[in-house]
Every structure is written in C-alpha cells, then in structure tokens.
C-alpha cells in the first residue's frame, strides 16, 4: 500500500510539474524577458570552477560536487563552519547549452521550491536577470542568469552577503562570456 501511495504521489507531482513551471513563468513574467540578455556574448561559458578567492574558505570545511545530464552541467560548493559543521553557504552554478535553457532553469528552480514568498527582482545587481530573497534569520539568496549560466547563492548567516558573492561571481561569468576563448 505504501508503495502504491508513493507511485500515485510521484505521478501527481510529475503531472503538476509543468503546471508549477507554467505558474512560475507567469508569476515572474518570463514571456517578456525570455531569451534576452544585457550584453553581447562572444560564446557560451564553459563549465568552470566556482571562484573561491573572495569566499571565506580559510579554516572552513568545503564540499564540492559535480552533476551532469544532457542539457545541464552543475557545480555546487558548500561551505561549513569549522567548529560546529553548520552550513554557512551554498553556491550552485548550472551551465546550460544556451541562454534560454539557463533562464528556464531559473524558472524551474522557482517551480521546485515551495511558494513562501515571491523573490524580488533586483536586475542590475548581477546577471541578465536577477532575483533575491532575504529573511530576518540570516538567510538570504540571490538567483541570477548570465549568458548560459544559472546561479543560485544561499547564505545561512548574517556574516556572509549573498549580494556581494553574486556580484563577484557575475564578474567572473561576464568575463568568460565576453572574452574570446584563448585570450
């Protein structure tokens, strides 16, 4: 019986998956900005490591992972406090095959998370399209796309700024987007 309930629930979620994505696209007015960018890009950004130069990794425990499928390659970086192993930061960088796929990944991300609050548009902070959410408990996140890359930054402490990290990651992605390979 448990297995049957699980199968029914999974089927229901799969059936509603497109509905949730459609809802997210409508809430964030996806049709009005899909496929648009703020700069002319020379090429798609190849998968790169999460730049850690400005991140507080000294003395911190870090964990990196890589995932890949036919449409996306993803790199994740998790940073934990050294004393109590509490997660302080998570950065996900999803490298898509093109701009529209990266922007659709952003919408899929919004469709996959519970709708507690709508994220605020913060275009101009980072990327071609940028959203943020900040809560009083120290949690903040910035979601943005730049060229063919979707970035999800979540901080779980007031001592780290998702906004500062977004600006720095965006600069690295923009540099890779506007410079011809081999330069």
Residue 19 CB contacts under 8 Å (≥ 6 apart), including other chains:
none
End-to-end CA distance of the chain: 61
* Class of the CATH-defined domain 2-178: alpha beta
Percentage of the chain beyond pLDDT 70 is 78
pLDDT tens track for 70-91: 677 888 888 888 777 788 889 9
pLDDT of residue 2: 34
| pLDDT at residue 60 is higher than 80 | no
pLDDT of residue 64: 67
- Phi/psi at 141 (nearest 5 deg)? -145, 150
pLDDT tens track for 3-46: 332 333 334 344 445 888 999 999 999 999 999 998 889 889 98
**Cα–Cα distance between 31 and 103 in angstroms, integer?**
11
**Cα–Cα distance between 140 and 154 in angstroms, integer?**
6
Structural domain boundaries in the chain: 2-178
In the sheet that holds 129-134, the strands lie side by side as: 61-68, 72-80, 87-96, 149-156, 139-146, 129-134, 120-121
| pLDDT at residue 163 is higher than 70 | yes
**Cα–Cα distance between 170 and 106 in angstroms, integer?**
15
Please give the torsion angle defined by the CA atoms of residues 95, 122, 88 and 115, in that order, rounded to the nearest 10 degrees.
-90
pLDDT tens track for 104-159: 999 999 998 876 677 888 878 899 999 998 887 878 999 999 999 999 999 988 88
Quote the pTM value. Answer: 0.82
Beta-carbon neighbour count of residue 151 at 10 Å? 24
pLDDT of residue 81: 80
């Amino acid at each position: 019986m448990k297995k049957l309930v699980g199968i029914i629930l999974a089927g229901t979620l799969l059936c509603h998956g497109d509905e949730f994505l459609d809802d997210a696209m409508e809430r964030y007015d996806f049709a009005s900005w899909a496929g648009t960018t703020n700069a002319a890009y020379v090429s798609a950004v190849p998968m790169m490591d999460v730049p850690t130069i400005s991140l507080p990794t000294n003395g911190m425990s870090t964990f990196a992972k890589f995932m890949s499928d036919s449409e996306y390659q993803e790199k994740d970086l998790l940073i934990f406090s050294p004393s109590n192993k509490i997660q302080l930061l998570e950065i996900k960088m999803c490298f898509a095959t093109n701009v529209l796929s990266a922007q659709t990944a952003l919408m899929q991300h919004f469709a996959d998370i519970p709708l507690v609050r709508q994220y605020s548009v913060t275009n101009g902070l980072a990327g071609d399209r940028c959203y943020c959410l900040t809560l009083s408990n120290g949690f903040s996140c910035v979601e943005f796309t730049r060229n063919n890359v979707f970035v999800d930054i979540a901080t779980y402490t007031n001592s780290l700024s998702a906004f500062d990290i977004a600006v720095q990651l965006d600069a690295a992605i923009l540099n890779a987007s506007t410079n011809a390979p081999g330069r």
